[in-house]
Amino acid sequence: MKNPRAVTLAFEGWQKDGINVYNTEEGIRLSDNDFHSGTVFHGIIFLDEEHEQALSEALEQGFTPTFLVFKMGV
């Protein structure tokens, strides 16, 4: 069973084809709003018990996971 878990997300930056575009014209345009490094968003992820435990243990050990957003849905 998947459990919903609230998460705090910190925006890190923009990439295209795996390359950081921060210092490009596109990167500057994309960052000219709330989507710039350090902006915090709140969301929900759904984890099964095994993934929830693994993530919780890693966080307790001081590790910081990084996620990429590929698609948005409702």
Tens of pLDDT along 10-56?
A: 998 899 998 999 889 999 999 998 888 889 999 999 999 999 999 99
Please tell me the total count of domains within the chain. 1
Do residues 9 and 35 make contact, with C-beta atoms less than 8 angstroms apart? no
68 inside domain: no
72 inside domain: no
CA distance 20 to 72: 21
Model pTM above 0.85: no
56 inside domain: yes
26 inside domain: yes
> Which residues constitute the domain of residue 31?
3-60
38 inside domain: yes
CA distance 65 to 5: 15
29 inside domain: yes
Do residues 7 and 34 make contact, with C-beta atoms less than 8 angstroms apart? no
Do residues 37 and 12 make contact, with C-beta atoms less than 8 angstroms apart? yes
CA distance 53 to 50: 5
46 inside domain: yes
